Chain A
């Protein structure tokens, strides 16, 4: 994934945090540094479909009936995009 700037103000809105202006630039830099590093994961894009099919859920439990799929819904609680968060703020 191409590295780009990260909008920390919008992320703060999404996660209900207030970061001082002085800290925003530093945190944006830190997040971008990590995002650059994590770009190594692009190499695994070809595995996307198999992961979507439950690969990650299987890792969470060896139970015969995979209970983790019930839990997985709670991991993603941020349905909004950064753009939508920004729009909300402007509203």
Chain B
């Protein structure tokens, strides 16, 4: 049995598999051993499928031996956020509502990875229906930061980020509606990639806010994310909003790049985050990039628009959970109305109910013109503004969050609106549909990781990953 694997990235593991220094079955067993030793502390996984994973690993070993496949993901284990369907596995969305729901089909993104030979280990914890940024609203338990279990892992894909950061899997799928891949990746010291809206099919992703939801990936390094993105992206007839974008990362000449930095926004972040942004600016400069100031749209407008639109779409999307077709249903009820109300009241958690009520309010006759329509108008303005910015610069550097991962005891002191404000640097990418990469850049107070976000124009996902990779290599030298 293998004692330790030093580099737990897709590239490093693939090399070990190709050189036959390890088999896919041994690698899968190694993951389950590590999960057994760490998961009770951090709560990253909520469903494990050891039997299915070992069967898939045996098949991967067979394909490699027979030369049937040469995919870079052949035999590589990975985890799936629990709002993406995998045939025969529970898909709970972190909710009591779907606690016992077993999916009858597999999401396109997951299916493409399985087809390439990657091995599903299990499902990871998340904020209920993706609503939260600390993985503390899940009905299935709390996820803790592997670097300090008193701190949050971020959210809503906190389980996926914690699993990667703890070295339990080399990559994990997440979903990003307003920063849910990038922020937990930054808090846990992993790489988080949110592709352009439409680059990855949403088929099989349980909907939160359909016009913002994006399937993303959290990886041990940029290449782990890039390898995953190459396999799972592309048009899917089952999601009519999906589209083919260029997915091949060509080498990028950083010295020819112009990178924008919204310096005014750095006044609102902690010393650790400001230091990380300055560090990545220095790194890009040392590779020859020119850095120029840019002015982004008002973050307050972005946040207001995001929460109005996301909550409005959520109130509609979550209308399907009524106890009739699937999900939680009370044992007894006297009328259909009581079935609806009790199923939803007992099945949903507090944060989900709050956002359903907020969304319902934004769509009512008396508020629709004042909030929902204005939010759409703001979104249009924000998108136009981002297009304008990317006509003059290639990329933009941004903070991911105002500070490092907070302690749970500090988080619970905040009001819901104060917690929403923590998403201010991330939602702009979702509103405008552009790709963003969260890159770990050093450590802050208490040794906690700090991340910086890089944004690119819509469809430039491969170029963004190429820049991320160049900056990552720059940090190693």
Contacts and interface: CB of A to CB of B under 8 A. Distances in A.
A31 B379 contact: no
B316 A75 contact: yes
Given A33-B417, A37-B300, A62 B458 contact: yes
A11 B357 contact: yes
B339 to A, nearest CB: 10
A22 to B, nearest CB: 13
The 8 closest A-B pairs by CB, nearest first: A1-B370, A81-B365, A47-B377, A55-B380, A41-B374, A51-B376, A44-B377, A67-B240
B345 interface: yes
Interface in A9-61: 11-12, 14-19, 27, 30-31, 33-35, 37-48, 50-52, 55-56, 59-61
A75 B308 CA distance: 12
A33 B243 CA distance: 39
B458 A48 contact: no
A40 B417 contact: no
Contact of B301 (A43, A60, A80): A43
A30 B364 contact: no
B234 to A, nearest CB: 14
B247 interface: no
A82 B370 CA distance: 14
Contacts of A47: 377-378, 380-381
Contacts of A43: 301, 378
B171 interface: no
Nearest to A10: B364
A17 B356 contact: yes
Contacts of B364: 11, 14, 78, 80-82, 85
Interface residues of A, number: 55
Given A17-B353, A41-B378, A76-B316, A30 B415 contact: yes
Interface string A51-91: 11001100111110001101100111111111111000000
Interface residues of B, number: 64
Contacts of A76: 312, 316, 363, 368
B360 A41 contact: no
Contacts of B458: 62
B416 interface: yes
A61 B319 contact: no
Q: Is the contact region of chain A dominated by helix, strand, or loop, or is it mixed?
A: helix
Nearest to B315: A15
B354 interface: yes
Contact of A63 (B240, B309, B357, B363): B240
Interface of B: 197-198, 210-211, 240-241, 243, 298, 300-301, 303-305, 307-309, 312-313, 315-316, 319, 322, 337, 340-342, 344-345, 348, 353-354, 356-358, 360-361, 363-371, 373-381, 383, 415-417, 420, 431-433, 458-459
Contacts of A70: 240
A17 B346 CA distance: 9
16 contacts: A8-B357, A11-B360, A35-B361, A37-B300, A38-B304, A42-B370, A43-B301, A44-B381, A45-B374, A47-B377, A52-B376, A60-B197, A75-B211, A77-B363, A81-B364, A82-B364
B298 A40 contact: yes
A34 B356 contact: no
Nearest to B302: A40
Contact of B345 (A11, A18, A34): A18
Contacts of A11: 357, 360-361, 364
B379 A48 contact: no
Given A19-B353, A61-B240, A33 B415 contact: yes
A68 B303 CA distance: 23
A37 B319 CA distance: 26
B376 A56 contact: yes
Contact of A78 (B315, B378, B416): B315
Nearest to B370: A1
Contact of B341 (A18, A34, A38, A77): A18
Contacts of B315: 15, 77-78
B363 A78 contact: yes
Contact of B376 (A42, A46, A55): A55
B357 A27 contact: yes
Contacts of A40: 298, 300-301, 304
B188 to A, nearest CB: 28
B241 to A, nearest CB: 4
A51 B369 CA distance: 12
A67 to B, nearest CB: 4
B215 to A, nearest CB: 15
B390 to A, nearest CB: 15
Nearest to B309: A56
A86 to B, nearest CB: 11
A71 B210 contact: yes
A16 B368 CA distance: 19
Contacts of B368: 76
A48 B377 contact: yes
Contact of B243 (A30, A61, A75, A80): A61
A18 B341 CA distance: 6
Nearest to B199: A62
Contacts of B322: 16
A16 B342 CA distance: 8
